[in-house]
Chain A
Amino acid sequence: MRVDLPQGTLETMVLKTLSWGPMHGYGIGKWIERTSNALTVEEGSLYPALHRMEMRGWLEPEWRTTENNRRAKYYRLTPEGRKQLRAQSKSWSHLVASVGLVLEATEP
């Protein structure tokens, strides 16, 4: 199933992914696809989002060498990024609950 992501949702998911530890762009995309079981993360959205969040100071870049000796750009959550994650997950849950209440209403 292909799902269109609401504005800003990708950023929240990226923040969540990085809460486990620093990761490079490819790993982030793969983790979200695997965990969601349904979503496709497009490179055309992922990388601009990463760079935007870096410029806002939510993420910190870090060049590392991978297991197979390749230089890769890892992203790490900053304290500001962690704060954003908390705020955004909260508002997401709130949104889901509210939309659920409306859609599952049984009387007018």
Chain B
Amino acid sequence: MTEPPTQAAWRRYLRFWRTDARADVDDELAFHLEQRVRDLEATGMSRAAACDEAARRIGDVSALKNVCVQIDESGMRRREREEWRDALRMDVRTALRQLARSPVVTAVSILTLALGIGANTAIFNIVYAVLLRPLPYANADRLAVVAETQRDLRTGVGPGQFTEWVARNRVFESLSAESGATFNLSGVGFAQRVTGAMVTPSKFRTLVMPPAAGRYFVDEEATPGREHVVVLSYALFTQQFGGDAGIVGRTISLSETPYVVVGVAPPDYAPESYGEQLWVPLALTAQHKTKFNEHWLLVYGKLKPGVSLAAAQRDMERVTREIAALQPAAMIDRSVRVVGIREDLAGDYERQLGVLFGAAALILLLACSNIAGLILARLTTRRREIAVRLALGAGRARVVRLLLTESVVLAAMGGVASLAVASGATTLLLRIAPASVPRLDQADVGAATLPFVIVATLVAGLVLGIFPALRSTRGDVQQALRESGRTSSAAGPRDHARSALVVGEIALALVLMTGAVLFVRSARNLADIDPGFDPTGLRSVRVSLAGSRYQSPAQIASGITRLLASVSALLHARAVAATTGLPMGNGVPDVQLHIAGREFPPGQEPAANFLGVSPTYFETMRIPIVRGRALTANDRAGAPPVVVINEELAHRLWPNESPLGKRFYCCGDDSVHVWREIVGVSRNVRHWLTARPFDEIYVPYEQAPAASWVWFSNTVTLVMRTERSDAILPMRLRTAIAAVDPSLPLFEQFSYDDLWRRSTSTNRFAMQLFSAFAALALTLAAIGIYGVLAYLVSHRTQEIAVRMALGATRPQVFALILRQGGALAAGGIFIGIAIAVVASRALQQLLYGIEPTDPITYAIAGFALAAVALAACYVPARRAASVEPYSALRG
């Protein structure tokens, strides 16, 4: 039973390094057996019999061994865990003691971190809500928007094209088409305008979600005559119908037409396209299906499993070529684009939010480098403590761990504090964010926040700690001990590190400052835009003339006339007008113009935005007529058709002659050509604030083609000039409109201030955020540069005293310190400008009227930073200049 000696020696060797449970159990049991054999032999047994008996008694030795080893090892693991936990607890306690020793530095660090992490978290909450949060649709990664393009601009899809797509594509499981529509939902005692959509029944197959009640449409319901069925959104179902499932099968009145409710969509079915409250079937007639030049459909597709967006794009381009071969005239300059639904929803905001997130990350980086500077400064004074620890036998790893624990504890405190900052900042962001950002309403300090804060905190803690920790354990222990109280010579290499940090901070601050200045100047440019009309005191309200009383264009026109009369009576004949397209308010359709006596090659026919307006429009909006005359009350139905065009169109079509008296027909008057004579030219108006003026034609609403009312869903905007302070105007407007017809719902009541704010909200949001970031960055950089110089001065008091004793004047000493600060600032500014030139390219599309490389901007940002840096140098420089040489040298 004795073991070969070599093995025993090996075991002893192993045991030297760590306890070996298995070897110990082996030895213990071997000894047991030996003793047993010896005792049995003593009773007179033969050695062989004794061995057998001993083996019999002990039974399965290897099983016994395993049981013992298992017990030992589990105990050891537990003990190791406990030891580790004890050590951690001790480190944390030490860290807290260290942090408590310099409360001001600690407080500043925690505050800085809280701001840094909090700002990031707030932006992250927005980014998460808009870009990352899962969509409510099953298979959202397979959903795509399919749009036609014209010269690379997205347009709607023609019913002809859609029909061909469905027939010819090989990549989509299903394709659905829809078009927005509004309805007057009327019941007992209320009239409400609801937004809805006409959809092909395949819509609900494309965005798969089971209905909350009832069913969706069947294919047969997409045929004329059977289409009077409706699916309600869950919101409408609960708000308007009390959430009673008994509504399914009942009839409701939409624009005075009865519709049967067949189903209710589920609550989280959150359609983003129009914010629809209900859906009715889209009945594409055979005539529709051959229309290739009217682009009014929005098309969704669900890709077959495994098909990529790129593959779908290629396939749809093939389909488009096939269609072009059939319909060459309709397909000139046209192509197709397949866009993932997530990308489509996020739209332009992806870039903007990316920019903001990048800016927030810069702030965190700045905060970290600032605190790293503070930690480095403190380490210099702690050098002896660390040297003592090392001399007393603490391993280098142990000291690194201790210092890392310190920085992580610091970061954790900052992280906890940042939750308050994040929650406040998110609320603030939501308040100032543009209302048009999709899915923002659901942003919150939610479940995604905490993991983000934890990760950001840990990263910050490690980044903060690793650099100083590695630094401090390097170097000669004995020398550090020998230096005892004198710290002046120890400042050498660490100062370079701190200086580098400060240069980096200034560079980062400059980048943010540049962004802020760019946005401020961009906002200035926006404010300076002349829209071409006078927005002061303008108010608008939209009215929808839907229902059986407004079937014919004549009925609609007379409705508008009565509305205008009623409202202008109310406003005591102050200017009131009607228009189908309000600048900055709603979009306008464009129509092809066929000009008398002129031929254009296919695809190059002139087109212009169509507006149906009341004759008072130009006067109300204060749009000057530069040639000819404005529309008058005589330009009514039955009178010779007339039109006013804007300068832009006049210049494009008749650059060298007067357009007055020229004639064209337009607007789907294919069967009967209605020739309209140009009687006036108006000044250009910017329909959208940041877009250059479009080509526009203004047609008297009484002469508007019948088809046009369909484009506008029978809605018209009343616009009037009012006293700014008329608080009860909205109510009086309501009364005036109800006096004409109480069943007319009105909506989108705006003052032009609202519209203006809405048009500039994206820019304002970016400007406010960047300004806040830049202010934060400037403060942090100032603290950083102040810290380095103050430290420098306090440790060079003796040297400065010697200089002064040798004849240096106070201004010279002042200048010396200022020069040092100035060198740091200059370095940072130059590096910052280099980074900003590259980084600001990301802002290009968010700016208006200014290039990202605008030199004046860089000059402003550079000077601002230089001024702040010099101000931060002032106090330390003053202190240096006020050193009293004698007392400093004697002390």
Contact = CB atoms under 8 A, between A and B. Distances in A.
B31 interface: yes
Contact of A55 (B27, B28, B39, B71): B71
Interface in A68-93: 70-73
Given A26-B36, A55-B74, A55-B75, A70 B68 contact: no
B24 A73 contact: yes
Nearest to A49: B71
B97 to A, nearest CB: 30
A52 interface: yes
Contact of B57 (A43, A51, A52, A54): A43
Contacts of B805: none
Interface string A30-63: 1000000000001110011001101100000000
A58 B773 CA distance: 62
A48 B35 contact: no
B59 A70 contact: no
Contacts of B71: 48, 51-52, 55
Query: Among A47, A48, A52, A54, which residue has the most Cβ atoms of chain B within 10 A?
Result: A47
A25 interface: yes
B64 A44 contact: yes
A51 B24 CA distance: 11
B34 A43 contact: no
Contacts of B24: 73
Nearest to B24: A73
Contacts of A52: 71
Nearest to B73: A55
Given A52-B71, A55-B71, A71 B57 contact: no
Contacts of A26: 31-32, 35-36
Contacts of A48: 64, 67-68, 71
Interface string B42-63: 0000000000000001111001
Contact of A70 (B31, B57, B67, B74): B31
Interface in A2-50: 24-27, 30, 42-44, 47-48
A15 to B, nearest CB: 17
B75 A24 contact: no
A41 to B, nearest CB: 10
Contacts of B57: 42-43
B29 interface: yes
B20 interface: no
A47 B68 contact: yes
Interface in B561-604: none
Contact of A72 (B31, B72, B78): B31
Given A48-B68, A48-B71, A51-B71, A43 B58 contact: yes
A51 B72 contact: yes
B interface residue count range (under 10 / 10 to 19 / 20 to 34 / 35 or more): 20 to 34
Contacts of B74: 55
Contacts of A73: 24, 27-28, 31
Contact of A24 (B31, B39, B78): B31
Contacts of B32: 24-26, 43, 47
Contacts, number: 57
Interface residues of A, number: 18
Query: Among B27, B28, B63, which residue has the most Cβ atoms of chain A within 10 A?
Result: B28
Contacts of B60: 44
Nearest to A61: B24
A106 B59 CA distance: 45
A47 B29 CA distance: 9
B556 to A, nearest CB: 91
Interface in B1-37: 24-25, 27-29, 31-32, 34-36
Contacts of A44: 58-60, 63-64
Nearest to B15: A63
Interface in B71-97: 71-72, 74-75, 78
A57 B74 CA distance: 14
Nearest to B35: A26
Nearest to B63: A44
B129 to A, nearest CB: 52
A51 B68 contact: yes
B72 A47 contact: no
Nearest to B65: A47
Contacts of A54: 72, 75
Contacts of A27: 35
A64 B812 CA distance: 78
A43 B64 contact: yes
Query: Among A42, A43, A71, which residue has the most Cβ atoms of chain B within 10 A?
Result: A43
B67 A55 contact: no
A70 B60 CA distance: 24
Interface in B368-401: none
A70 B24 CA distance: 14
A83 B27 CA distance: 29
A56 B64 CA distance: 19
A43 B68 CA distance: 11
A26 B58 CA distance: 11
B27 A71 contact: yes
A58 to B, nearest CB: 12
Nearest to A71: B27
Given A43-B57, A43-B58, A55-B75, A25 B64 contact: no
Nearest to A47: B68
A26 B40 CA distance: 13
Contact of A25 (B28, B39, B63, B78): B28
Contacts of A47: 25, 28-29, 32, 64, 67-68
A34 to B, nearest CB: 11
A43 B28 CA distance: 12
Query: Among A42, A52, A55, which residue has the most Cβ atoms of chain B within 10 A?
Result: A55
A69 B28 CA distance: 14
B75 to A, nearest CB: 3
Contacts of B28: 24-25, 47, 72-73
A40 to B, nearest CB: 9
A44 B32 CA distance: 12
21 contacts: A24-B28, A24-B31, A25-B32, A26-B31, A26-B32, A27-B35, A42-B59, A43-B29, A43-B59, A47-B25, A47-B28, A47-B29, A48-B71, A51-B68, A52-B71, A54-B75, A71-B27, A71-B31, A73-B24, A73-B27, A73-B28
Interface of A: 24-27, 30, 42-44, 47-48, 51-52, 54-55, 70-73
Given A26-B31, A44-B58, A51-B71, 15 more contacts: A24-B28, A26-B32, A26-B36, A27-B35, A47-B28, A47-B68, A48-B64, A48-B67, A48-B68, A51-B72, A55-B72, A55-B75, A70-B34, A73-B24, A73-B28
9 A-B pairs with the lowest CB-CB distances in the bound complex, closest first: A55-B75, A51-B71, A26-B35, A73-B28, A43-B58, A26-B32, A72-B31, A51-B68, A48-B67
